[in-house]
């Protein structure tokens, strides 16, 4: 299969997951909107529902796109909870650890996810991995950035890229075998604003779009299933 086919397949799966997540939104909710190509499918699906909701956006790109579709985007300041946040991810491991921040918005995305009563992650099936792999995005303060990079180790700036709040974006390319230990270490380094490792405790559920190859093979049209993955602690009632 060509890389174009792979992209089309992933896009179909992203749309299916996003459309399923849009169905979870209820009247009068405050909804957190993530950033990226999967969330780009969520916005029209949400707008089509015609609900009276308000949204907080994790990037100017998402805010602009949502407003163009008629969604009511409000500032997050002055509000301390979000009813439901929906966002994509770069990688999801079997324990529901996430790597996020490919789009550089992971700091806002983590703030919104942590403030939400329910955080729903929407991904195509290629985002599911057996083990997380680098890069892990990191946002840094400008002040002392070289010292911060040295303390992180195995990290480099992502060109001149900036986060939605103007922070420097870097990528950590070292070992990610123990995400909890790495997250603790990165959190402890002065100058690190935040990193793209999201623990399972933040994740309410992951909706995974998956094209059914059998449908394609029989010519009946590709059927896209959406599988719901719940972190073990929550599945067990924790
Ligand atoms: C942006 C993110 C995105 O959610 C992540 O990069 C996935 O992107 P996409 O939906 O385009 O595959 O974390 O900061």
32: Cβ below 6 Å to ligand 1? no
* DSSP structure string for 20-42: HHHTT--TT-EEEE--SHHHHHH
Q: What is the pLDDT of residue 3?
A: 80
Where does the pLDDT of residue 236 fall: very low under 50, low under 70, confident under 90, or very high at 90 and above? Answer: low
For the cut 50, the answer to whether the pLDDT of residue 111 exceeds it is yes
Look over the chain and give the mean of its residue pLDDT values, rounded to a whole number. Answer: 94
What pTM did the predictor assign? 0.95
Minimal-distance CA residue to ligand 1 atom 2: 101
Of 91, 109, 139, 205, which one is the catalytic site residue? 109
170 or 212: which leads in pLDDT: 170
Q: Given this model, what pLDDT does residue 216 score?
A: 58
More confident position, 212 or 142: 142
- Ligand 1 pocket, 20 CB below 6 A? no
Closest by CA position to 206, among listed 55, 47, 91: 91
Does the structure show a pLDDT above 70 at 100?
yes
- d(CA 219, ligand 1 centre) in Å: 32
Confidence of residue 238 (pLDDT cuts 50, 70, 90): very low
Q: Are strands 82-87 and 30-33 parallel, antiparallel or unpaired?
A: parallel
- What pLDDT was estimated at residue 212? 82
Q: Which domains does the chain have, with CATH numbers?
A: 3-128+199-231 (3.40.50.1360), 136-196 (3.30.70.260)
Q: 7-43, pLDDT tens digit by residue?
A: 999 999 999 999 999 999 999 999 999 999 999 999 9
């Amino acid at each position: 299969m060509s890389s174009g086919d792979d992209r089309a397949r992933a896009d179909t799966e992203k749309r299916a997951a996003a459309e399923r997540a849009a169905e979870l939104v209820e009247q009068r909710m405050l909804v957190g909107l993530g950033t990226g190509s999967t969330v780009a499918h969520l916005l029209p699906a949400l707008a089509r529902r015609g609900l009276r909701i308000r949204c907080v956006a994790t990037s100017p790109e998402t805010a602009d796109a949502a407003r163009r579709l008629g969604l009511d985007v409000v500032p997050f300041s002055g509000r301390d909870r979000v009813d439901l946040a929906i966002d994509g991810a770069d990688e999801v491991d079997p324990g529901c650890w996430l790597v996020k921040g490919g789009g550089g918005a992971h700091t806002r995305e983590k703030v919104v996810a942590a403030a939400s009563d329910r955080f729903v992650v929407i991904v195509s099936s290629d985002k599911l991995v057996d083990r997380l792999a680098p890069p892990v995005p990191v946002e840094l303060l400008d002040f002392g950035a070289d010292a911060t990079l040295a303390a992180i180790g195995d990290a480099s700036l992502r060109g001149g890229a900036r986060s939605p709040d103007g922070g420097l974006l870097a990528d950590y390319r070292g070992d990610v075998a123990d995400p909890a230990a790495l997250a603790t270490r990165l959190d402890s380094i002065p100058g690190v604003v935040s990193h793209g490792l999201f623990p399972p405790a933040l994740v309410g559920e992951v909706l995974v779009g998956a094209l059914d190859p059998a449908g394609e093979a029989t010519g009946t049209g590709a059927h896209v299933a959406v599988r719901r993955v719940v972190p073990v602690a929550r599945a067990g009632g924790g």
